[in-house]
Structure 1
Amino acid sequence: MYLVTVLGNLLIILAICSNSHLRTPMYFFLSNLSFTDICFSTSTVPRMLVNIQRQSKTISYAGCLTQDCFVLVFAGLENFLLAAMTYDGYVAICHPLRYSVIMNTHLCILLILLSLTISIVDGLLHSLMVLGLFFCTVLEVPHFFCEVDQIIKLACSDTLLNNILVYVLTSMLGGVPLLGIIYSYIKIVSSILRISSSGGKNKAFSSCGSHLSVVSLFYGTAFGVYISSVFTDSIRKTVIALLMYTVVPQMLNPFI
């Protein structure tokens, strides 16, 4: 699955870079999404494979925090990229005559840099907050990678501030892009329904279908992780849900 993820996303990046006709905002965001998918999977899967090969489940404290930081950064970046791609589709369908003016090169680069900056700040903030915690026993994280919620649960010191930070930032950085995506698709669907020709409707729906599939897959697995962690006490079910979130969407995105 990891090899399919890396090779599939690399193929998309190479195809976009080698074809001058694909140098549009949509494919610019798509190439960045493919690169993020590779990095997201690489932050968790190779370490897990090494542990399986060596039959060793240990990781250093510094390595654990580093892995946690990278997971948060690339998960956040993928979240923002999906929102940026939705906005691109919204402008293309709802404001086609102004598309080239609105979605200019400067705006596209600014959206990428802004998304990356916010994601890095989020990852570093959580990791630095964990550094302030005290751990008084031999630690065992019940996951296949260092996940911030599980690290916080293992602390002996007060974790109220850490938990508040996790819930507030997750709600803001996950909820705001999701609301933007929902709003954009409401406007997109209403614009498509006003198109008189059936051929135009089919073309517009087909152009949005693949992106909507990727969005549904990413947020669907994310909600699966949240539901499994809240409504079940089974660590195994939570780990399986987290595996679906961190591996499956990144593997299926190239095919979609």
Structure 2
Amino acid sequence: MRLLSAALALLLAPFAAQAADCLGLGPAGTPADLRMVRDGPSRPLYRGAEDAGCPAETAACRTGTTLGPRFRVVAGETSGPFTCVTRADARGRLTTGWLPTEALAPAPDVPLRAADWVGRWHNGPDRYLVVTATLDGALVLRGEARSGARTTRRTPRPTVHHGVLDARIETDGDDAAFTIGEDGATRPDVPEEAALCRVALRRRGPYLIVQDNGRCGEAGVSFTGPYRRTG
């Protein structure tokens, strides 16, 4: 059953949901689920509020990227008749933009096993997770995220912030949630511990959807986003 606890709905009191620019997924407790582009012609993605009058189904608002029918995407916040969607390809490279909500359909419901979580998952070049299974059937999640501009010949060495996850997780097949205590130990999700690292996971289609509360790394480094298995 795809049931998240009421605790997940209350995750992230410090982070109010915002339906502004389409920057990918919001923190845990905000919308994030698998959808599929409806059959028919490919659909263009549209820019967001950073451009005046967008999102809108106009040539000026198009990003230049299209999504073909039956592409599976992770749907996040809505803004009027549009939904912010993110797609990660087989290498974990991300595409994000606004899509008319009417262009999205429910994705097929496929039962999952614990083994479907196992593998190396990427979200862009700066976030990865590795999920392994123990002999007693538990799952162990380890990962790293970083933020900061990449160094080029023309830029000085940037400040790079890191986040690390190391947790033993339990799942009902589709969802999981946990808190990492100050001692580094994994515990069931605790809504009252807003200052600790809290993570919600959803396994949907080709994606491992991660949403955290911005407390899992330095300077607000986040693991939030859809991940694709790359190994």
* TM-score, with length taken from structure 2: 0.24
Kindly name which structure, 1 or 2, has the bigger radius of gyration based on alpha carbons.
1
Greater strand content: 2
Greater helix content: 1
Structure scoring higher RCO (CA < 8 A, sep ≥ 6) equals: 1
